[in-house]
Structure 1
Amino acid sequence: MVSAIAGAKRFEMNIKGMAGHAGTVPMPLRQDALCAASEMILVIERIAQEHGIVATVGQINNRPNGVNVISGNTSISLDIRSEFDDKRDAGLAQIFEEIQAIADRRNVTLDKKQTHAADAVHCDQRLQGVLRDAIEKTGYQARTLPSGAGHDAMAIADICPVAMLFMRCDKGISHNPAEAIMESDVAVTLEVLEHAIKNLG
Structure 2
Amino acid sequence: MFSFCWPALLFLPLAAFPQNAAPDAAGGHSFSNPATAICAAWAGPATDGEKMRRFLEALTLDAYVSARHGGTGFNWRDITSLLARVERICTAEPARSLAEVWQERKTAWHRGSWKANTVRCREILAAGDCNEDAFFFGIWLYAYDQAKDGRSEATLQTLPQGGGAMVWEECERTPDARLLDVLRRMQGK
| TM, length-normalised to structure 2 | 0.23
Which is richer in helix? 2
Q: Bigger radius of gyration, 1 or 2?
A: 1
Which is richer in strand? 1
